[in-house]
Amino acid sequence: MMKKQLFTIAMGTMMAFTASAQDATVSIRTDNATQKIHKEIYGQFAEHLGTCIYGGLWVGPESPIPNTQGYRNDVLQALRDLQVPVLRWPGGCFADEYHWRDGIGPRSERPKMQNNNWGGTIEDNSFGTHEFLNLCELLGCEPYISGNVGSGTVEEMAKWVEYMTSDGDTPMAKLRRQNGRDKAWKVKYLGVGNESWGCGGNMRPEYYSDLYRRYQTYCRNYDGNQLYKIASGASDYDYNWTRVLMDRVGNQMNGLSLHYYTCSGWDGSKGSALVYDDDEYYWTLGKCLEIEDVIKKHCDIMDEKDPQKRIGLLVDEWGTWWDEEPGTVRGHLYQQNTMRDALVAAISLNVFQRHCDRVRMANIAQIVNVLQSMILTDTKDGGHMVLTPTYHVFRMYTPFQEATYLPLDLKCNEMKVRHEMRKQMDVNKDDGFRRLPLISASAAKTKDGKTVVSLSNVSLDKAQEVALEGISGKSLKGSMLCTADIRAYNDFENPARVAPIEFANSKPGKDISVPTANKKQPLKIDFGKGKNGKMTIQLPPKSIVVFTVE
Ligand code: AHR
């Protein structure tokens, strides 16, 4: 195969192309496919922060905004459509200042507190344990409780577990019954602290390890409830934290968390959600993809102590973190969401799937109105809701939940990216550049025997022709997210600027063409070459495509 090297310098971005007959090949290997993609990889996170809870998920039963027992109807429906598998709560940093007893009993009698982490907002505790666990029941998802180690006691955490999960004649079960809930809830996931190296107590890993061992000892399994205990893990490149916890905590944890955010820099400005140039776009996608290297390095450390992969790595905070939208409340982390965020979501999910032997859960931050949210709401005139580009990606990826991962070999064009302004922020790079493959791909066998494939083209202007091997079938259906402008977003005035287009073949094996804003760059799926397990797909620039074949 003829290959040509081509280098271009554009706005501080050096591009290295490897051109060949096709721009990319994806060879799916169906042999040796045993690894399940845990549905929890599509998990969500809700913190008492800004309007995530109040105004986002919860308006209270007396609200004029249509609601079910206080939960917004519009948001409930959207989240049900998303098949949320797990929801982490109440923080984040908030978790280590949260005292659960303030959030039970009659709402009007609950004490108020100041939310010191997030803008000093007064928290009235009207959304507490019952409101959270009932929401999980309504959504059909697993609750993930993040317990307070930073400012809470061992007794407080132990009693919270008893309150939620004991069905016996125990003091906390009695208290729960007095508060209107007879039957215990099932609570599987329990986080023992959050960011204990930072807002969760500024601890050293050695000290936290001992605290973890002590706290977890008293978190009991009541009446058939089986806790999956999660230690507060590292941020980004802090491999020492993981090493110390693996050495000192080891089998006393079921999971170890990892936090990784994508922004264009931590030096004051994190970058605007809506205003960014092409250079910054590529730079931030490079930063996003660097999560793969970070995951691999944490996994290597875990493998040394736990080769059977008994302990899960849980990326329980991830996503984009941009500057807050101008005009919004400081400290509330409200940001808009463009097609760039959608691509961050898609390529991150592909990374988590690739490492699903160790990555058992991931929780994007956060579910409503905070950071890279699924949903934006307001409470004006009966309330409005908008689904973000990221929401659409999560919905498109639902066939991957609990599917069997199919390993694949990907060859594609790459860019080497550097943002002049951000050079000093380079971490872990020898030459100051980040590598950015233009194509990201993942494949799996669904529970009902179909093959599901996701493909993204991150190029801003070049369609990519992808040859797909190892996949066969006659009927294909899927959806594509693709915008003319990478900065396109949805808001209350224009809620559907970014929306998926669905497609399917009209006859078995028939080719598919889906128009995009640029007439010369449609999505084309060539089933004609689909014989012998080969297909060709032309992916438009800035596109995310997910399809199933049977
Ligand atoms: O998601 C926002 C914050 O980011 C969380 O509260 C904290 O854990 C992290 O630093």
Separation between Cα atoms, residue 525 and residue 408, nearest integer Å = 19
What pLDDT score does 268 carry? 76
pLDDT mean for each 10 residues of the chain (550 residues):
30 45 89 92 98 98 98 98 98 98 98 97 98 98 98 98 98 98 98 98 98 98 98 97 98 98 84 94 93 97 98 98 96 98 98 98 98 98 97 98 97 82 50 85 95 97 94 92 98 97 92 93 82 83 97
Tokens of 546: 């997910």
Report the nearest atom of ligand 1 relative to the CA of 118. 6
β-bridge partners, 261:
319
DSSP category for residue 88: E
Question: Ligand 1 within 6 A of 162 CB?
Answer: no
Tokens 């109105």 belong to which residue?
369
Ligand 1 pocket mutation pick from 259, 263, 368 by most atoms within 8 angstroms of CB:
259
Question: Ligand 1 within 6 A of 93 CB?
Answer: yes
Tokens of 1: 């195969």
Question: Ligand 1 within 6 A of 317 CB?
Answer: yes
Q: In angstroms, how far apart are the furthest CA atoms of the chain?
A: 75
DSSP, residue by residue, 474-525: S-EEEEEEE-SSTT-B--SSSTTSS--EEEE-SSTT--EEE--SSTTS-EEE
- Whole-number Å distance, alpha carbon 118 to ligand 1 midpoint, is 10
Report the nearest atom of ligand 1 relative to the CA of 195. 8
Report the nearest atom of ligand 1 relative to the CA of 92. 6
Please tell me the residue having the least CA distance from ligand 1 atom 7.
92
What pLDDT score does 346 carry? 98
Question: Ligand 1 within 6 A of 92 CB?
Answer: yes
DSSP, residue by residue, 103-126: GSS-GGGPPPEEETTTTTEEE---
Question: Ligand 1 within 6 A of 193 CB?
Answer: no
Report the nearest atom of ligand 1 relative to the CA of 371. 1
Separation between Cα atoms, residue 171 and residue 411, nearest integer Å = 60
Question: Ligand 1 within 6 A of 91 CB?
Answer: yes
Please tell me the residue having the least CA distance from ligand 1 atom 2.
92
Question: Ligand 1 within 6 A of 47 CB?
Answer: yes
